[in-house]
Amino acid sequence: MNDKLKFTGIIIGTLIIGFVIGFLTNGRLVKSRIDKMQSFYTEKGADRAFIRVLDPTPDQMEKIRPILRHHAQQNRELLGHHRSEQQALFLELEDELRPL
pLDDT tens across 14-59, in order? Answer: 999 999 999 999 999 999 888 877 776 777 777 787 888 888 888 9
Q: What's the alpha-carbon Rg for the chain, to the nearest Å? A: 25
pTM of the model as a whole? 0.51
Q: State mean pLDDT over 61-79.
A: 86
**Residue 92 host element (H or E):** helix 58-97
> What pLDDT score was predicted for residue 9?
93
> What pLDDT score was predicted for residue 53?
84
- C-alpha pair distances (Å), 77 with each of 6, 42, 66, 67, 82: 63, 12, 17, 16, 9
Judged on CB neighbours under 10 Å (0-12, 13-18, 19+), 80 is exposed
% of the chain beyond a pLDDT of 70: 97
pLDDT band of residue 1 (cuts 50, 70, 90) is low
